[in-house]
Amino acid sequence: VAGPEPGAGPTPEEEETEVTNPATTVEPPTPPTTSVVDERLADVSLMTRVLRRPELGALLAAAVIGLFFALTADPFGTLDGAANWTDVASTLGIPAVAVALLMIGGEFDLSAGVMTGTAGLFMGIMATEVDMNIWLAILLTLVFCGSIGFLNGFMVVKTKLPSFIVTLATFFVLTGVNLGVTKEITGTVRVAGISEASGFDTAFDIFGGTFWEPYDFRLSVLWWVLITALATWVLARTRVGNWIFGVGGDPVAARNVGVPVPRVKIALFMTTALASALVGIMIALRLGSMQAGQGIGDEFNYIIAAVVGGCLLTGGFGSAIGASVGALIIGMAFIGIQFSGWNTDWRFLFLGVILLLAVLVNNFVRRSAEGARK
Amino acid sequence: MRRVLHYVLAALLVLGLAVFVAACGDDDDDGSANKKDDVSLTQGRDLTIAVITHGEGDTFWSVAKKGAEQAGEDMGVTVKYSESANDPQKHAQLIDSAVTEKVDGIATSVPNADALRDPLKKAADAGIPIVTLNSGQGDSAALGAITHVGQDESVAGEAAGKRLAESASGKLLCVVHEQGNTGLEERCAGAKKGFGGEVENVQVKGVADIATSVTELQSKLESDDAVTAVLTLNPDIAVAGRDAIQGASSDAKLATFDLSGDVVKAVKAGEIEFAVDQQQYLQGYLPVVFLTLFNTNANTVGGGLPVLTGPGFVDKSNADTVEQLATEGTR
């Protein structure tokens, strides 16, 4: 937790200067990060700084929910059970981290869910109908989805329309294309037989398989941890990370200090599309087939995970770890409810209440921290 | 005050994490201990059966769910019913979590055998008996299931054709409302076998556009006097078929697959001869019974063949009873 204090400075630009150039921290009112004590700076206790982290509330909520299910639903607390709920969390968490970056950058992507279906179907059709080697198919899929992400970003930047509208259009287009093209080519609503494609075994071992023998954790969990760490590093330690905060916090000010706003936004949309594509590829390899309706509705889970993890809907604030913890909460709730044997008619009610509680805890903790600020 | 709050929160966090970690450790120990006891305790222990379908809380599956829950009550076993909303990945994860729970039996629909092969293999490797239901008859044995509980489409089609032939000889129109759905093609092929006379498959727009489907059927009936019977494969299309027959002033007899409130009413009014019912209540009920018997008495039902829940017929003679049962949610 040694990164910048996103919530501490009034504008993101100060964080930028704080990290990229520690020598300029004499500017008020940045928190003290050097040993030089400035009388204009308030003394902020370590506790308050911890409480101000965007992901703390989510961590607390995750601990409470995890504890609850571990005590009430039998195999939840075992490593076998953990393999189940981390699996659900990982395929949500990978796009959720990218969506969190995008939201910190001040934009939405409603096509992130259906993109997983597009990616899996595209790869499946390339591998089964065109008889392509699976690795080539994966590469083409990433290029294809990346360009859709580019188009999303390009349209948002050029038209200045809200990304909510632009990506909603993309959502509908992809939903229609997924079903239409799949039925046109295969005659059914799914692409099957992916496991017979050449190169499948090696691709499966990297994207679809399991690790840690008796418990069989999914490899997607490793990918998820890796991507979360990478995104956290980018946000906290690189110039691009500061650009992202700046673009989301105040694009005009960001441009004035030399941030390439359009490029950052387009790159964020492409990152989101690629993260979704990665999950689509994983699902297709894992299942050996892909259904045309895959992923529709998941975009909300990604956004919820990011918000539970401390992202503001208005941009400029949030964390990648938080989004991952948010995904973890959704995954734990999904499998926990299953283990508990609660009537599944009510599943969405339980899920809704758990998420609401998580957001409330998050909010309460952050408010307390904000209130404690001098 | 705020400082106090901070420490309380910190204490909570630390405590929470500590207990969580401890709980993980504890349960893990229990898990390995359980494994050893499993063999000897199976007989005397309460049984848990997981029933997993690709439903989405819809009318059809809520009936199957009722069946599964009633069976749980009747057999004195715990039934955990869950639905994947036709998401194959979720379906696989639900089976995975049932395996982790070490349930005593898994009953699952198999709409997509590719996606469920791995998790079901894991279940079989863990010694959990499997029964497939509703869809997946062809893959059932290869997936290691004891048996399949469902309706055989061609058997049901044949029975429907035979029954239509009793009241109408000549030419049968089999109305296909979804392109590329092999189940529907099987029903028509079966109907051809049972009907004996000439059978023509006609493709209509489908459930999403009933008005166009009615027009298509009506013009088909007006242009072809030879048609004496119409078989629809969906309750909504059945209602469209009735409207088309009335619109074309045709005398063709109408029958349909599957039930709806409108269909039962039309059967009572004599507008539809009969409806083929696949009795999905049984598809929820029977797998629980079979899996319980497998656990308590090592029984296997079916002898390698599927157990058919359909075709059941709803006609004028039993429409009243079925209507009442439908309002109770078991038909």
End-to-end CA distance of chain A: 22
Of the CA atoms within 13 Å of residue B323, those in its CB half-sphere come to: 15
The H or E element spanning position B106 is strand B105-109
Give the tokens for residue B192: 């051809």
pLDDT at B59: 77
All residues of chain B having their beta carbon less than 8 Å from the beta carbon of residue A88 are: 93
Residue scoring higher pLDDT (A312 or A277): A277
Q: What is the residue type of B84?
A: S
Closest CA to B148 of B107, B118, B184: B107
Check pLDDT > 60 for residue B20.
no
pLDDT at A16: 42
Q: Do B100 and A78 touch (CB under 8 A)?
A: yes
Separation of alpha carbons A356 and A3, rounded Å:
28
Separation of alpha carbons A229 and A219, rounded Å:
16
C-alpha torsion angle, residues A132, A134, A138, A144 (rounded to 10):
20
Interface test with B, best of A51, A60, A67 (most B CBs within 10 A): A67
User: Alpha-carbon torsion A175, A180, A183, A188, what sign?
Assistant: positive
DSSP letters along B269-303, please? Answer: TTSSSEEEE--HHHHHHHHHHHHHHHHHH----ST
DSSP letters along A245-275, please? Answer: HHHHH-HHHHHHTT--HHHHHHHHHHHHHHH
Confidence of residue A189 (pLDDT cuts 50, 70, 90): confident
* pLDDT one-digit tens code per residue, B28-67: 444 344 443 444 344 445 899 999 998 887 778 889 999 9
Separation of alpha carbons B71 and A299, rounded Å:
38
User: Alpha-carbon torsion B170, B175, B181, B187, what sign?
Assistant: negative
pLDDT at A213: 81
pLDDT at A153: 96
Residue scoring higher pLDDT (B8 or B64): B64
Q: What is the mean pLDDT of residues A74-94?
A: 91
Interface test with A, best of B7, B78, B100 (most A CBs within 10 A): B100
Which chain A residue lies closest to B29 (C-alpha atoms)?
A: A78
List the beta bridge partners of residue B42: none
* pLDDT one-digit tens code per residue, B151-178: 998 999 999 999 999 988 889 999 988 7
Q: Does A296 touch chain B (CB under 8 A)?
A: no
Q: Does A72 touch chain B (CB under 8 A)?
A: no
Separation of alpha carbons A93 and A302, rounded Å:
7
User: Alpha-carbon torsion A177, A181, A184, A190, what sign?
Assistant: negative
Mention every residue, 6+ apart, whose C-beta is less than 8 A from residue B158.
B190, B191, B193, B194
Q: Does A365 touch chain B (CB under 8 A)?
A: yes
C-alpha torsion angle, residues B137, B142, B144, B146 (rounded to 10):
40
Check pLDDT > 70 for residue B3.
no
pLDDT at A50: 74
Which chain B residue lies closest to A362 (C-alpha atoms)?
A: B9
Q: Do A291 and B88 touch (CB under 8 A)?
A: yes
Separation of alpha carbons A331 and A333, rounded Å:
5
Q: Among residues 287-306 of chain B, which lie with CB inside 8 Å of chain A?
A: none
Q: Do A372 and B2 touch (CB under 8 A)?
A: yes
Q: Do A59 and B13 touch (CB under 8 A)?
A: yes
Of A77, A194, A338, the CB nearest to B97: A338
Separation of alpha carbons B40 and B126, rounded Å:
16
Does the interface ipTM go beyond 0.90? no
Query: What CA–CA distances, in Å, run from B141 to A59, A119, B107, B311?
Result: 45, 32, 14, 22
Of A63, A74, A87, the CB nearest to B93: A87
* pLDDT one-digit tens code per residue, B223-248: 998 999 999 998 889 999 999 999 99
* pLDDT one-digit tens code per residue, B61-116: 889 999 999 999 999 999 999 998 888 899 999 999 999 999 999 999 998 888 89
All residues of chain B having their beta carbon less than 8 Å from the beta carbon of residue A77 are: 20, 23-24, 26-28
pLDDT at A161: 93
Q: Among residues 121-180 of chain B, which lie with CB inside 8 Å of chain A?
A: 122, 179-180
Render the burial of A101-117: b for 16+ CB within 10 Å, e for the rest.
bbbbbbbbbbbbbbbbb
> Residues for chain A: how many in total?
374
pLDDT at A34: 53
All residues of chain B having their beta carbon less than 8 Å from the beta carbon of residue A370 are: none
Q: Do A338 and B3 touch (CB under 8 A)?
A: no
Query: What CA–CA distances, in Å, run from A258 to A112, A262, B106?
Result: 29, 12, 60
Q: Do A294 and B93 touch (CB under 8 A)?
A: no
Q: Do A82 and B27 touch (CB under 8 A)?
A: no
CA distance B268 to chain A (A): 32
Interface test with B, best of A128, A212, A344, A366 (most B CBs within 10 A): A344
3-state helix, strand, coil in chain A (%, to 5): 75, 5, 25
* Whole-structure pTM value: 0.77
Query: What CA–CA distances, in Å, run from A197 to A122, A255, B119?
Result: 14, 48, 21
What share of chain A in percent tops pLDDT 70? 86
Q: Do A289 and B19 touch (CB under 8 A)?
A: no
